[in-house]
Structure 1
Amino acid sequence: MADVGVRAARREDVPAVTATQIRAWKAAYRHVLPEEPLEQMTGPAAQEIWHRQWEEAVVAPPTPRHRLLVAVETEDLLTSLAEHGGEPGGQRVVGLASHGPAEDADLDPETTAELLTLLVDPGHTRRGHGSRLLNATVDHLREDGFTTVVTWVFAEDKAMVDFFASAGWAPDEAERILDLDHGVRMIRLATDIR
């Protein structure tokens, strides 16, 4: 049995954040993105870039309104010993969420935030980590004075679209087409958090 929670990311979390991102992308996007671009986004060279970017997000975020949160599981003694031969009470990063002021030209960054990333490690899905990350994100955004939040998702990523829809998010008519061997459509979802 493990305790779960969400907290601000720390510098020592960066390797786990990077690894979680790579595993989550490989699992979630293998049916959405062409193989070669996905490999480029998750290969060794990309991992180094993501590591540097996550470290910067923790130690020198662009503004005080940018945050990186992590979902963690705190292992009890039996789980820790059985699975890892380790000490009890160690926290394992199992998900991440990042956010900041919206950057799309049609949005007001004073009142609209963007959920930049929401990922859960494939081995830890369906345990409420995504919902906890989303709720913690919204709490921080309200404290920072935001009234609306947007996020971009792949239109074909039905699991993610359904997850956000179940939390009250809906398409706001904006979309993008990424040129990755063939056009990959993204839609922008939005929700009011007042």
Structure 2
Amino acid sequence: MRRWGPADYRDMPWKNGGGVTRELLRRPHPTRPEGFGVRLSIATVAAAGPFSLFPGVDRHLLLLEGQGMALTRAGASEEVVVAPGQPLFSFPGEDAWDCRLLGGPVRDFNVMVDRALAEASLERVHLEAGARHRLAASPGTQWLYGVSGRVQVAGEVLAEEDILEWDAPGALELVGESEATVLIIRLMPRAGR
């Protein structure tokens, strides 16, 4: 098990220069030193504009704060509204999307993975104090990110803004110390990797 917290994160400009992302975790790409195999981050979107392009990367986005945003694929009519409580939005990083804010700035959680290396999933779990949530065994890597509150997991406390990582974990159980929201990110290597 490994742990990261706010002191380990770094703020970085967006690839297209349109904003700032807090990079929580970055795994290097095995053959491209300038690239990444997987990246977890939180973006603050303060104004309308285009998403950065990441060819060969699968992106998963989940709104954390704000009223939401409407997304339009380049040259098409408005297609997607990302709002609080909705499921995540997944898309290929080479697709050009423009964003329109629905009521002021938003913050969103991003999982980006090189699709030739692995595939990722992102799930949001809300727990009341004392509630339990069982996570099935996973053959890949699993990260837990504390959005709010505190939970116990495998003898460790996951607090707000912390990340816990397990490689090839067995079944885990989350127990809410308080009302809490946790993001579960799973990374599965592609066959032959």
TM-score by structure 1 length? 0.28
Write 1 or 2 for the structure with the bigger share of strand. 2
TM-score by structure 2 length? 0.28
